[in-house]
Amino acid sequence: MSNPTLLYTIVDAFTSTPFSGNPASVIILPPAHHTLSSESLLQIAAEFNLSETAFLIPQPSTSPETLRYGLRWFTPTVEIPLCGHATLASARVIFSTPEGQQVDRLEFETLSGTLVAKKVPGGSGKIELDFPASTLEELASADELAQVSEVVSAAAGGGVGVRGVRKAGFFMLVEVDPSFDLEGAVMDANPFTKLPFDAIIITSSRPTSFRPGARFISRVFAPRSGVAEDPVTGSAHCVLTPYWSQTLNIPPGVVIEARQASKRGGDLDLIWEKESGRVRMQGSAVVTMRGELYL
């Protein structure tokens, strides 16, 4: 008897160029495997050893214009409540199926509620995700601010000017002075484990030659979740979009170009819908691999 098989697709998200952006593995679970345990899903994610693996289960649709799926995300070590790039990758896979080619809208039921993905009109091939905007809080303690500055400088291997710090759920956002070459810096993620947050966003208004129109750049480190540096992090832009919209006085509803300046790099177009508390993020995604996983 042959081993049970799962089909997987590897997608590079937030890029139109293979071998850049953030790779995610996407698996649409067949009915026989809808009841796979969380432990089994985690083992599969660890086998891929990508920053995230997405697992999808088809659900009944309430409209002929929309397909619905249950969606869960796993790093190699934990399940996480929200992931932008693996959602974008999932949408790319579904929109490539015969059923997905017939619709323009997807709904995903997740630990963060219902998330929507849409095809962007105009033939660009981009997909728009509708995510909840994060609520930002300032650090009240001078001791906390001093610790953040110390940790960031340790990670960068030298003194780095910190211009602002915010916390939002499991994220901490740190704006650094644009004189610091965030894009070119060799960062050690280990010091970030001293901060009580699962993911640390380092961001700057420093220009980047990779995307001259970008209003800000960022890098994201998550050693507590088993990811030293995440190549492109959609969920982090739920924090970054309201932060930079307010910092740069960009009105809600205006498209903001952004660049995540990791080694692989990725580009996002962002819109803050302040009144509804949402962030719309648009990006490209490209399939690089398909195959079979034997259980």
Return d(Cα 227, Cα 86) in angstroms, integer.
14
pLDDT of res. 2: 67
Residue 209 phi, psi dihedral angles, 5° rounding: -70, -20
**Is residue 226 very low, low, confident or very high in pLDDT (cuts 50, 70, 90)?**
confident
pLDDT tens digits, 66-92:
999 999 999 999 999 999 999 999 999
pLDDT of residue 257: 97
pLDDT of res. 159: 84
**Helix, strand, or coil here: 2?**
coil
Name the pLDDT band for 140 (thresholds 50, 70, 90). confident
Q: Each residue of 161-220: pLDDT tens digit?
A: 999 999 999 999 999 999 999 999 999 999 999 999 999 999 999 999 999 999 999 999
Let me know: does 61 contact 256? Beta carbons within 8 Å: no
In this model, does residue 1 exceed pLDDT 70? no
Asked if residue 284 has pLDDT above 80, the reply is yes
Instruction: Assign 54 a pLDDT band (cuts: 50, 70, 90).
Output: very high
How far is 225 from 206, CA to CA, in rounded Å? 28
Summarize pLDDT for 95-132 with one digit per residue, the tens.
999 999 999 999 999 999 999 999 999 888 999 999 99
Burial-class residue 241 by CB neighbours within 10 Å (0-12, 13-18, 19+).
buried
Question: What are 256-279's pLDDT values in tens digits?
Answer: 999 999 999 999 999 999 999 999
Q: Is the pLDDT of residue 150 over 80?
A: yes
> Where on the phi/psi map is residue 243: left (φ > 0), alpha (ψ -120 to 50), or beta?
alpha
Is residue 292 among the annotated active site residues? no
In the structure encoding, which two tokens stand for residue 212, read together?
Answer: 């001259």
- Per DSSP, what are the bridge partners of residue 222? 227
Residue 35 · residue 56 · CB < 8 Å:
no
From the list 47, 52, 99, 257, the catalytic residue is 52
- What's the mean pLDDT when you consider all of the chain? 95
Under 8 Å between Cβ of 131 and 281: yes
